[in-house]
Chains A and B, each alone.
Chain A
Amino acid sequence: MDWELLRTSFWPMLSGGLTGTIPLSIASFAIGLALALVVALMRISGQPVLSGIARFYVSVIRGTPLLVQLFVIFYGLPSIGLTIDPWPSAIIAFSLNVAGYAAEILRAAILSVPKGQWEAGHTIGMSRALTLRRVILPQAARVSVPPLSNTFISLVKDTSLASLILVTELFREAQQIAAFSQQFMLLYLEAAAIYWVFCLVLSSGQSALEKRLGRYVAH
């Protein structure tokens, strides 16, 4: 085992993770989640046109590979005169992708809140928007934490695809050092270990969040 290589490659990889993988994941997830809420609300709006658009969007995103989506944005769009840098391209692709999956999660979570909650909001004079914000979404949030955590963890790993559009992140660092040192097994296992640690941290964050949001239900 080449301990020296392990040691000298660790910092570039970790730093690729901290300055690439993690910010890319967080930014894409935040934007994707906001977009997902819009898509979910369109889907349950009862308006045929809006819900049709939402349904179509989810179908396209879920029905095509993420790598292809990424390549369409980074390598495809320039041919119609739209050139986007690697980082924004990656954020756009990942956000749109997250939105497709999270929209279905949020839709189900919103619909899982009993109708009586909407009626209680109505009777105390709330508008539908206020009821959604104050009554429905906090309850929907609780049930959507586990599936959304899955989406987030998948996203963290999927950001390794951004290495293919030249974004400097954890896996691209690993690839570069591996190409240079020819120690593929060692470096890719090291990269895998760092991803794993990131995801372990996320899982414990998920547990804490579930506990906090679940404080008002019987255990």
Chain B
Amino acid sequence: MAGALEGIRVVDLTMWFQGPVAGQHLADLGAEVIHFESPKGGDLGRGVRSIKALPVGDWNQYFLVINRNKKSMAVDLNKPEGREIMHRLVAESDVFLTNLSTKALAKWGCSYEELAAVNPRLIYAMGSGYGPYGRITKPSFDLTVQALIGVMTRQGEPGQPPIYLGMGSGDAMGGMMAALGIMLALYAREKSGRGQFLDASLYGAQLFMAAPTFQAFLATGDQSWARQRSRLSPLNPLWNTYQASDGWMFLCEANDDDSWQRLAATLGAGGIGTDPRFDSTDKRRNGAAVLVAELDKIMVGRSVEQWMEIWREAGIRSAPVGNLAGLAEDPQAWANDYFVKIHCDEVNREVTVRGLPVGFEKTPGEVKTLGPELGQDTELILADTLGYSWDAIGELKECGAIL
């Protein structure tokens, strides 16, 4: 089956994760995405050697998964010949995607003005740190922007350090946003015939990511939305994490009398369901700390599996708090292609990669190849797409403009 973006060509001058993963979404859906890299080592993401103080793996999973389904060109943009290649490629492309600094882009002849002059139909998609009107000029990364937007400060228990939402969590959102922006611009271009500039910054993406609580803070001005809230005093004690004898669980029930009675009936002989301290929504809410303390004592009395069985029977919404090992075996994730297997040349075996979270009935995404070797497609693209002669390509190699 042909992908939805078959025939769309993307020049992907990106690095690390935010920019490259935007290109990955398009490549998964059939776009021809050309990762444009420096001949000196390429995307710095290729050089990730360790994660969490562990060797990156026997295959270069960081780069190869983020840049799956892409081609690679290794071209030196410090050389005029390299910049000419870029301009000729942009003239034949639909999208230019980047998350590099405007300073580097200007130096390499890749400013919006220059590229739009080469191709007025071009969609120029920027993944910046702080947005077009941002005042901060230093290099941005996911975590240094996440730090500013405030979402880290409200995670976890009071007194504990702030919490990062996960490696690359904000980059992942920025990349998804850029992909959406590109599709909006492509859709608009079908009608208008014109390209445009767009920016999906880390700052904007991460504020969106914080929407559920950030909007609450904006609307109420209540400082408690900006701070850590202990699980020992939740807004609704029936919607909280609890620890069983062998692990944690998430309980998700409404704080109404019916839900309380259904839950209480599963909690054993103590008669908590008739305890007058907890016999109304308001009492359970205002006395949440006392109720959580009582529930904590009851919950450790059984295993997660036992509680899940009891609660399934009683129609109580809940889930064990699982880890990544459990997820990797989860049939639900596999059934929906959230994991896929693909052959990895580097180790000559099948490997498991994160899959396709966006489902399409008629034009499904696909992981056809892992990321490219540095510059593996340079010569073919020069010859086939841009019409360089083999002699000219030889000269480009000679002068070091290409790898």
A complexed with B: no
List residues of A whose CB falls within 8 A of some B CB. Answer: none
List residues of B whose CB falls within 8 A of some A CB. Answer: none
